[in-house]
Structure 1
Amino acid sequence: MATLETIRTKAGVVVAIVIGISLAAFILGDMFQGGGSFFQGNRLKIGEINGETILYPDFHQQVEKLGDIYRMNTQQNQLDEDTWVQIREQTWQSMIRDMVMDEVYEKLGVAVSDDEFFDMLQGTNLHPIVQQLFRNPNTGQVDRGAVVEFLRNLETGVAPEQRQYWLYIEKQIEEDRIQSKYNNLVAKGIYVTTPEAENSLNSKNRQVNFNYIMLNHNTVADSQVVATEKELRDYYNRNQNLYKQEKLRQIEYITFPVVPSKQDFEQSEKWINDIVSDFASATDNVSFVNSNSDVGFDDTWYKQADLPEDIAMWIYETNAEEGSIFGPYFEDDSYRLAKLHAIKMLPDSVEARHILLRVESQEDLINNQALADSLKKAIEGGSNFAQLAMQYSTDQGSAIQGGELGWFGRGMMVKPFEEAAFNNKVNEVTIVNSQFGIHIVQTTRRGKETKQVQVATLIRNVTPGTQTYQKIYA
């Protein structure tokens, strides 16, 4: 459910087209200059699928729809060019699949019934996509009540963007099931007959003995082998397939670089200026950045030397307080706002030890969580950490050392483990989960502490907008 709740609400762009008397003059004038807009279809044609012409406006509309889904999924207002390339390719492949296979599915009667669709969305056989969206991260179980509640409120209780995203999910689920049915249908229609199986078996088991003499080619002089023109021609005619060559094509093309227009810069600058007050008053900086910025929240702790010079001077030279705002400013093709999120005295490195309890199933998670709680209490009660590590830890490399990991700095351990080790006081014990399992972490020594900060940065990348792309293409 959390996945769907993170989809941001955006206002749509309303385009008004005013049709006046001048339109007739424009059309007539365009017709007299190079064929007119009545023949513009050929210029807007970008391809052909199954005999049907694909025009750029239609293709671009589908690209934009899929782009909106990507924005909601990634929680980014703008997408980079590499992502757009991926979206365009995915859109094109989807159009090919729909325009070619829909006709095949219809002829074969391959479809998804209403009852079957209901069963995949909220019945006993939930589709994997639904399971992933509504799985409780703590228990690993699917919250069926949340599924039913969401679908009940789909028409009136959710934002339009959430409804659009869910309809896209439903389409993906339906297409996945239809394709699965088709693949199974084809697979079941391909089989090996009994005679074919017998011939294959006999050919594999057939053995023969023979004598032979080998004569290397290099022992025969070229002058001793004479091939007539007729023999060469006959050989060529019999083996033409060995000499086939692919057709070569020479292509000339022109590239039109698409760069942000003046309007794109102005819109991005206006956006960053308009959001200053909201960012300054936000109480949850992490959620605000993740919901509005083109780049997610950076939870790295920075020393003065690790920050850009202007940000470092603002924080360290002016003794900025938590919640202070810097900017807007322009950097790396983006407008930015920086907010001092947190200040702490932290060490550059720590010495720690741990006990790792590996988790491979839901049952392991429950049992090992209880074991971790017991081990934590035992350690805090004075039990020997090293002995417990050698007995229980599944990290054999450190277990034989009593769980000792030695000194390490930032970025050397997985994030949850690192945060626990660096935030612990000396000899404090903390339980954290990572992709490796459950860790019981004890920090034994801390290095010299220095002032370190977390900066919440709101970033608005300046990228070509839809109108910029359309102007270039036109």
Structure 2
Amino acid sequence: MTIINKIRDKSGLLFLVIGVAMLAFILGDLFSRNYLSQGNDRIVGTIAGEEITFQQFSNAFETFKNNYESNVGRPARDVELPGLRQQAWQQLVFEIAYTKEFEKLGIQVTSDEMTDMIQGNNINPAFGNLFVNQETGEVDRGAIKNFLASLPPGPPTNPGHAFFLNFEANLRPNRLREKYEGLINQTYYATEAEAKREYESQNTKADIRYVYVPYTNIPDSAVDVSEGELKSYYDDHKDDFERDGTVSLDYVTFPISPTAEDIEEIKKELDVIVDRFASTQNDSIFIDANSETNNNFQIFTPKNLPKAIDINELELGKVVGPVQEGDFYRLYKVIDITEDTVNTFARASHILIKADDSNKAEARSKAQDILNQIRNGADFAEMAQQHGEDGTKAVGGDLGWFDDKTMVTEFNDAVMNASSLGLIPRLVETQFGFHIISVTGLKNNKNFLMGVVEKEIVPSDDTRNEIYRKTTPFGSDRSKENFMKASELDSSIIRYQALNINKEAQSINNIYDRNIRTIITWAFREAEVGDVSEILELEDQYIIALVTGKTEDGIAEFEDVKDEIKRILVKEKKKAQLMAKMEGLSGTVDEIRLAYGPGATVSSATDISLSSTSLPSVGFAPVTIGTVFGMAAGESSAPIADENGILVVEVDKIDEASELAEYSIYKQQLEAAQNNVNTVAQKISSVISDYAEVENELYKYY
């Protein structure tokens, strides 16, 4: 394989390795939207005091578009775009904010380093792996030099050339980032004292008993919190209620669904080609010309044959349909019939009367009576619905087609050995009970190759236009008053609510259409409370929205967090009441439990360490565990207010960790935890974003 081909084959992997610099963002569909046609000088954010315009953001990532598509071999999918946009923004943060830090510290990547990483003694592993000699397992530097010599000057002339230019352009910034993060990484260290403390926290063990009273012992309804207390707490803890902005909407929808006339018209379109489909000598060309999907040829067994098709009517060349299945009408043509050498299928219905050793005679008698009634003319399906004792009774006992390995032996043999359709004139006993069986499909081992022509059942243009006309009362006057009035004129119109939608939301309640972001971005970008959106056409409905609430980034309003504060204060008051009662009790934990009365429990825990986080029957209990390791064996604690309730602890035993000569292993553990590459990178990114006062407002446009 040539070097160029190897690069082409592996470039997708290498693209992922070199990371954020190799991202793309496909913008074409966005420019067709009205809300992006307002000029490209709009500000989408700021980085280190530099305003980022929409055009700047777009241009920066248009550069990567062709590279992304060539590396992954396809355009970015809709579901990937939100993530790609955020990664694209992070690349801008890197280029602007990180670069300033590199300059302050004098971090550089010289030309000699670049050469060294491409063809010297320290070749970039992701690049070097493309030139590994299969015999020696070593990087072939000669192959790299030959490859570089083969590249003409100027713009890329082939995928390998384009890939290398991209790799080279991003090698320097990636190396700068590695150096910077490496410098920060080296500032993490653990002292001998910290290592010793870590060792002790892992190896000092305690056995305890405790009495526990949960806060839930006092019902919320028994605790009063005044408006003044709520407001006072809010004023004293405003920083705790920092929130991202949200919007709330009322909205109405007009579902776009096909009418009976639309469905009939689509059926007629297939009706008129049935004869031509049957007579054509070139099924592939005919199907390609008439089918709306690529699901053109399928192999069916009796088990997965569409329910509307009678297997007994199938023969070579026969066309069945149009058959309506879900959102499609389909024609099926039998192209070939072959025998299955592995599986044999049959179809049956049954009525099960369950039996065991305690009721076998009674069950047999009941089943025989049902069989006699059916032999005398009773309807099998009705009798199954009336008497069946398993899940098939709801469908008249129908088991559908099954293969000869599915059913228990007695049942399988009775059906597979049947020579004619209809009722088996005897009861069949299995481990489940007694079965009355009707064979509805004789043993069959045929496979059917079908050519499929299918058309989607969609609303016609006339239907869409008619539904759009129903939206006219909303579109003619985009005021709050008219929105409310119009939604009340027609009783079939339901006004929905969507509360506290966040900036990055990809849906409004259960509406997940790819275009729903249009309304969300409009609401955040320019709408005010009381504004009504334009009529937005989604894939299967029209939607009009009214902005009913809007919060900005910052401290949440008191009314918006009032319930949250109440939960906090209710818990605090419960804590105070229970603490007061527990502080008045004394003795052992068993005596305290008896003195407290119902609601208090005594439990024990063994071998807990300072690194433990929970206790049996209590759950998360960090305060209690921390208190235990400040106590001595035989000592009892005062009441402890923890996350879920009040505890009093008795320490039965403390096993102190023995002294070690040195604690290097624990020092290494601490440093490894701190020096994790991903952790360091995330912390650096967070600090630089804060320091550079990064404001990302892409949510207003995408």
When normalised by structure 2's length, the TM-score is: 0.28
Give the number of the structure whose residues are more often helix, by fraction. 1
Give the number of the structure whose residues are more often strand, by fraction. 2
Which structure has more relative contact order (CA 8 Å, sep 6+)? It is: 2
Computing the radius of gyration from Cα coordinates, the structure with the larger value is: 2
When normalised by structure 1's length, the TM-score is: 0.39
